[in-house]
Amino acid sequence: MSHSSSSRIQEYIGDPVSESPVVEREKLEEIFQDIQADLRYDHELNGCLNCGICTATCPAAHYYDFSPREIVQLLWTENLEGIHDAMQEKIWSCAQCYTCAARCPFGNSPGGLVMLMRETAIKHGMQSAKDVLRPFSRVMLKLISTGNQLSPDMITPDGFADWGPNVSKVDAPLTTLRQAIPMPTLHTTKTAWEVNLKTSVELYTIWEETGVLDSLETIDENLFDVICDIMDEKRDDYDDWLDEQDD
């Protein structure tokens, strides 16, 4: 069903015991319209039987206060307050495994809809997005500076406090162990593997053109500034390398 058809917006259903600050109706509509405006929306949401098959097969639903059925129902009934409320915490529980999409008899993709809600939460600079994504700032920094998401020197209990006690299982003498790998390019713990400078510069262009860097600026301005400096340096290095080839 196209979102351009008749509205299913529910009337206000307030929560008298909620401590959440009141959000203006206009803001709620703006957020929902941003979710709906995505090209994927009508593909991911076709209707909902409220059958609960998605929730029954969802791994996240087993461990968290989260239900893909609830997410789909909120969107299908255009429950603006419920959508906003779910974006404060629940949407970040999804593991993006898409088991739900494989099971839904209506061909919905609850996981895909969660992704749209997450992207919208980032676009609107919601605190939930900032809180959830903060631990990934070191990953983003590593990715921009080396082309690797993760390097061996990051895998320490201090570096991954959010992983819990199991990170101690990889707290090994990695500097020594990496020397045993036959490929010389892997004899470092600062990168997982070597990424070509041209590839890095091309990735920067992709991130700029697809709005990744705009999202980053919304979520973490300081990290954005650091990353822009690194990108400028890398681009200068690449230009120098090109000049050397011309000589």
For ligand SF4, the binding residues (CB under 6 A) are 48-54, 58-60, 68-69, 72, 94-100, 104-106, 108, 110-111, 114
Closest approach of ligand SF4 to the CB of residue 235, in Å: 37
Instruction: Write down the least CB distance from residue 73 to ligand SF4, Å.
Output: 7
Angstrom distance (rounded) from CA 178 to CA 190? 11
Q: Which is nearer to ligand SF4, 133 or 231 (CB)?
A: 133
Inter-residue contact 101 to 57 (CB < 8 Å): no
- Which one, 115 or 231, has the nearer CB to ligand SF4? 115
Rank residues 102 and 242 by Cβ distance to ligand SF4 and give the closer one: 102
Residue nearest to ligand SF4 (CB): 111
Which residue, 76 or 207, has its beta carbon nearer to ligand SF4? 76
**Residue 35 C-beta: closest distance to ligand SF4, Å:** 16
CB of 55 vs ligand SF4, minimal distance in Å:
7
Is residue 122 within 8 A of residue 88, CB to CB? The reply is no
Rounded alpha-carbon distances, angstroms, from residue 187 to 58, 142, 146, 157: 41, 18, 15, 22
Least distance between ligand SF4 and beta carbon 70 (Å): 9
**What CA–CA distance (Å, rounded) separates 241 from 144?**
19
Nearer to ligand SF4, 50 or 210 (CB): 50
Task: Report CA dihedral (47, 49, 50, 51) to the nearest 10 degrees.
Answer: -140
Query: Residues with Cβ < 8 Å from 181, sequence gap 6 or more?
Result: 187
Identify whether the C-beta of residue 117 lies closer than 8 Å to the C-beta of residue 83.
Answer: yes
How many other C-beta atoms lie within 10 A of the C-beta of residue 12?
8
Nearer to ligand SF4, 109 or 215 (CB): 109
Task: Give the C-alpha separation, 216 to 133, whole Å.
Answer: 10
For residue 36, give Cα distances in angstroms to 41, 73, 80, 108, 201. Answer: 6, 14, 12, 14, 33
The nearest distance, CB 89 to ligand SF4, in angstroms, is 14
